[in-house]
Amino acid sequence: MRTKNKLPKLLLLFILITHFSFAQTDIDAIMMPKHNFCGGLMYGQSNWKNYWEGTFKRDNQNLGTVTTSMVNIMGNYGVTDKLNLLFGVPYIQTKASAGTLAGQRGIQDLSLTAKYMPIETNLGIGTFSLYTIGSVSTPLSNYVADFLPLSIGLRSSTATGRLMIDYQVHQWFATVSAAYIARKNISIDRTAYYTNQMHYSNEVSMPDATNINVRMGYRTSHLIAEAVFDQFTTQGGFDIRKNDMPFPSNKMNAKRIGANVKYTFHKKLSGLSAIANGNYVFDGRNVGQSFVIMAGAFYQMDWTKKKKVDSKK
Amino acid sequence: MKKTIIFLLAATTIIAACKKDITERNLLFSALNPAKTDSLAGTWKTLLLTAPNEFALAAPGATNVPAYAREINEIKSFQAALTNEQRSRIAYWSAGAVLRWNEIMRTLVARHNLAPYQNEDGTYPAPNANNPFAYPQFPFSNPPFAARAYAYVSAAQYDALVAAYHYKKLYNRPSPYIVDATLEVLVPKTTLAAYPSEDGVIEGVTVEMLKLLFPTEGAYIRAMAEEEKLCRIMSGANVRSDIEAGEFLGRLVAAKFTAKAAGDRAGVAIGNPIIWAQIEADCKARGETAWMSLDMPKRPPMLPLFGNVKSFLIDSLTQVANRPVPPPLTSSEKFRTELAEVKKYADNATRENIRIVHFWADGTGTYTPPGHWNAIAAEEFVQQNFSEVRWARNFSLLNITMMDAAIACWDAKYFYFNQRPCQADPSIKTLTGIPNFPAYVSGHSTFSAAAATYLSHVIPARADAFNAMAKEASDSRMFGAIHYRSDCEKGLELGSKVAESAIARARIDGAE
């Protein structure tokens, strides 16, 4: 749906073993009005103690709790009321509370998204809208992918195509979307590695992935509160063997539930909004059972050339 | 803005359309086409065989009789209906049987290089050769196990091939395409006699050795063996009786090596709690800080008695003479300096240093450092156009010297039982996994110097490159913050010393 003064909401799209990847408002049914820009910062932390080696769930005293901290700079610009462009740049730091392995830190992947709403119409007692979303991401630094679970990312450039529908009745809404994520092969520092066979190459074939996201809740111009279900499924890849190290091309699957709240301030603080969200992996494969909390603040500016309009009057 | 959207759409399409296939270097190797046939290799000095004809091999049937013609017809019947997949597998095996079985070995090592997961009570189960399928499966192919496994397989292949070349010379049966000029042949032709087949003898000896070393892998090994034999027949390189004679001979030779393996003390290298406690007490009695497992739960030390394993080439007196001088005392200024250096590398890792650490890490789930040097050697040997027997000879001495490096290095590790840097200073964080055995001397350094020194003898023109690789492998352990400088430098020295035995042997084995 389209609302005035809407700030982008943020969603943690993938939490694989440790790494965050953000797509901010690309996955919700909120559009930035024409010539409005909204920018802000999110801070988040993910923690996990248990993880899945294939389907075997375990902890690891040589890692203790793996913590990933993240700061994400994000923005959303309304080209028109029906077309938004979004970007995000996260800085990520990882740490294990036990064992000897060194945590990693650095700038992760730039993401760019175009979000288009071709249909918004009254339907029955509510409003129906349809969205098509295209997104690309690519690493911004030469970080190490092949040091899981402490790598800050997988280094794979991705392209995501998503179809999303939203239905709102009064203040109550439901949004459902499905995405296909194409992932480009990556290069690692080794020139040979074992998956379920030896590979004599420094290139790793990365399996693609799919995502399903369902969200329901309450939405007004000042408050949004919603529950989220998210399922990330790797199409291919292989399982971590018992007591082996994880690898970027593992079959990483995760089912998560979470909640988001966004409050938009009025009057003197108009344009400012605050966001908090949390989510938890309740089922997974070759990923950490992460619990994530995030908070952030955003400011929306109207870049319409008002003065010019005024002088014409 | 439209441009941006078009860009995003285009980028999406490009990434989505990207090919997932990767180019694997080992699948680009061309067919073996040796510069020299080494037809006199039947006179080369064997390792365990008392003589190349210690095992008798019956003379082949004549080639001008109907039985042989029927064997040729078998080849022709396969060739009449070859699939692309079969042609591709023929091409794969044509790169050389020693090479391909060495690759298969590396696969098996990587597949089994996983430390056991702990029991509920925090103790660890150990693999059991007599019950190999129970968790943890036998073997845990850690670096010493792997070094020994590579050595036994390569050594057995060498002796088996020397025997085969002896009989080739003796019986001088021609290749099928020489007997029948109309026969198509899908691999490079050779003037070397065909009976017994090199591929058959390598397959026969290797399958028997791998049954011993990787007992849970029978099905995979058998499938590869059957494919290899069939590929050689389909290619027109050999008739079935060439292959079967080779396989028969190879199996007999393997028995000599499995018998040695049973008595080389590797089976008891794991020790027991009394021995582990004694090693620790001996170290403390010298006033030093004893090594402690940094795994949690604490894991028993890896193969503490591997230093007692019997070598192919080095006697125990020479081994004691090779033993490095003691590491810097914990209380010494030198120790503090070296510890501070490790801390510096840990805290100031450059991206290039991280690359070096990861390139050489060869840890959990990999083919180990000896496997890495086998891969390096294989890619070098491919360019040298060696004959099968020379491949085997060069690999056998390479792997024997790396097994000797493992023995000498593990002897030093448990003789001194020296702590790792992050035991001495827990604020040191490592850029790769911390190995579960003492620090002094570095295994990577010892393996790498042994391999580089021996390979420099085989291909002198590449000596600088090999030595630079060994130095980088050695440095990688310091950069990774898991070894002190002394571990690395003394490890390199030890490795080069060990390799002198292999080089001495190479000078007199008849191949040079």
If pLDDT is split at 50, 70 and 90, which confidence band does A27 have?
confident
> What domain range is A161 assigned to?
11-312
Pairwise CA distance, residues B53 & B390, whole Å: 19
B434: nearest CA partner in chain A: A100
Distance from CA of B479 to the nearest CA of A (A): 12
Prior bond to B127 cis, omega within 30? no
B67 is a domain residue? no
Which residues fall within 8 angstroms of residue B272, CB to CB, at 6 or more apart?
none
A3 is a domain residue? no
A6 is a domain residue? no
> What domain range is B182 assigned to?
29-55+76-262
Looking at this protein, which amino acid is placed at residue B449? A
pLDDT for A25 beyond 70 = no
Pairwise CA distance, residues A224 & A260, whole Å: 8
Prior bond to B320 cis, omega within 30? no
Contact state of A201 with B25 under an 8 Å Cβ cutoff: yes
Could you give the number of structural domains in chain A?
Answer: 1
> What is the full per-residue pLDDT of chain B (512 aa) written as tens digits?
555 556 556 655 665 556 678 999 999 999 999 989 999 999 999 999 999 999 999 999 999 999 999 999 999 999 999 999 999 999 999 999 999 999 999 999 999 999 999 999 999 999 999 999 999 999 999 999 999 999 999 999 999 999 999 999 999 999 999 999 999 999 999 999 999 999 999 999 999 999 999 999 999 999 999 999 999 999 999 999 999 999 999 999 999 999 999 999 999 999 999 999 999 999 999 999 999 999 999 999 999 999 999 999 999 889 899 999 999 999 999 999 999 999 999 999 999 999 999 999 999 999 999 999 999 999 999 999 999 999 999 999 999 999 999 999 999 999 999 999 999 999 999 999 999 999 999 999 999 999 999 999 999 999 999 999 999 999 999 999 999 999 999 999 999 999 999 999 999 999 99
The DSSP letter of residue B25 is G
Give the CATH number, domain containing residue A176.
2.40.160.40
Residues of A in contact with B6 (CB under 8 A): none
Pairwise CA distance, residues A11 & A8, whole Å: 10
Distance from CA of A283 to the nearest CA of B (A): 22
Pairwise CA distance, residues A83 & A91, whole Å: 27
Give the CATH number, domain containing residue B333.
1.10.606.20
- Note whether B450 contacts A: Cβ–Cβ < 8 A: no
A1 is a domain residue? no
DSSP H helices, chain A, are 306-312
Pairwise CA distance, residues B412 & B419, whole Å: 13
| Cα of B378 vs its chain's centroid, Å | 10
- Note whether B298 contacts A: Cβ–Cβ < 8 A: no
Looking at this protein, which amino acid is placed at residue A296? G
Query: What tens digit of pLDDT does each residue of A233-253 get?
Result: 999 999 999 999 999 999 999
B211 is a domain residue? yes
Distance from CA of A244 to the nearest CA of B (A): 6
B9 is a domain residue? no
- Note whether B433 contacts A: Cβ–Cβ < 8 A: yes
Closest by CA to A258, choosing from A292, A286, A218, is A292
B91 is a domain residue? yes
Contact state of A85 with B116 under an 8 Å Cβ cutoff: no
B334 in the same domain as B354? yes
How many residues are recorded in chain A?
313
Paired with A218 in beta bridges are A172, A225
> What angle do helix axes B198-213 and B143-171 make, rounded to 10 degrees?
150
Distance from CA of A170 to the nearest CA of B (A): 33
B466 is a domain residue? yes
B36 in the same domain as B51? yes
B220 is a domain residue? yes
Query: Which of B296, B351, B365 lies closest to A194 in CB terms?
Result: B365
B274 in the same domain as B249? no
If pLDDT is split at 50, 70 and 90, which confidence band does A111 have?
very high
> Residues A138, A90: contact at Cβ < 8 Å?
no
Contact state of B429 with A103 under an 8 Å Cβ cutoff: yes
Residues of B in contact with A199 (CB under 8 A): 22, 24
| Torsion sign (Cα): A264, A267, A269, A272 | positive
Distance spanning both ends of chain A, measured CA to CA: 32
B151 in the same domain as B243? yes
Joined tokens for residue A241: 């063997």
pLDDT score for A138: 96
B385 in the same domain as B354? yes
Parallel, antiparallel, or unpaired: how do β-strands A203-204 and A208-219 relate? unpaired
Contact state of B375 with A190 under an 8 Å Cβ cutoff: no
Residues of B in contact with A194 (CB under 8 A): 107, 110-111, 365-367
Joined tokens for residue A7: 């700030």
DSSP string, B27-61: GSPPPP--S---TTGGGSPPSS-SSTTSS--PPPP
Which residues fall within 8 angstroms of residue B154, CB to CB, at 6 or more apart?
B98, B102, B392, B395, B396, B398, B399, B400
- The string over B91-113, giving b where at least 16 C-beta atoms fall within 10 Å of a residue's C-beta and e elsewhere, is bbbbbbbbbbbbbbbbbbbbbbb
Contact state of B116 with A185 under an 8 Å Cβ cutoff: no
Could you give the number of structural domains in chain B?
Answer: 2
Query: What tens digit of pLDDT does each residue of A123-148 get?
Result: 999 999 999 999 999 999 999 999 99
Query: Which of B24, B358, B434 lies closest to A199 in CB terms?
Result: B24
Prior bond to B196 cis, omega within 30? yes
- The string over A121-156, giving b where at least 16 C-beta atoms fall within 10 Å of a residue's C-beta and e elsewhere, is eeeeeebebebebbbbbbbeeebbbbbbbbbbbbbb
B256 in the same domain as B356? no
Looking at this protein, which amino acid is placed at residue B187? V
Contact state of B372 with A134 under an 8 Å Cβ cutoff: no
> What angle do helix axes B218-235 and B66-79 make, rounded to 10 degrees?
100
Pairwise CA distance, residues A196 & B111, whole Å: 8
B207 is a domain residue? yes
A4 is a domain residue? no
Among B233, B262, B291, where does a domain finish?
B262
Joined tokens for residue B51: 């003589």
Give the pTM.
0.94
> Residues B370, B402: contact at Cβ < 8 Å?
yes
Among B241, B262, B283, where does a domain finish?
B262
| Cα of A161 vs its chain's centroid, Å | 14
pLDDT score for B15: 59
Among B262, B288, B319, where does a domain finish?
B262
Residue carrying the six token digits 């992460």 = A290
B336 in the same domain as B319? yes
B484 is a domain residue? yes
- Note whether B95 contacts A: Cβ–Cβ < 8 A: no
Neighbours of A108 (CB within 10 A): 27
How many residues are recorded in chain B?
512
A5 is a domain residue? no
A292 is a domain residue? yes
Q: Above 0.85 for ipTM, yes or no?
A: yes
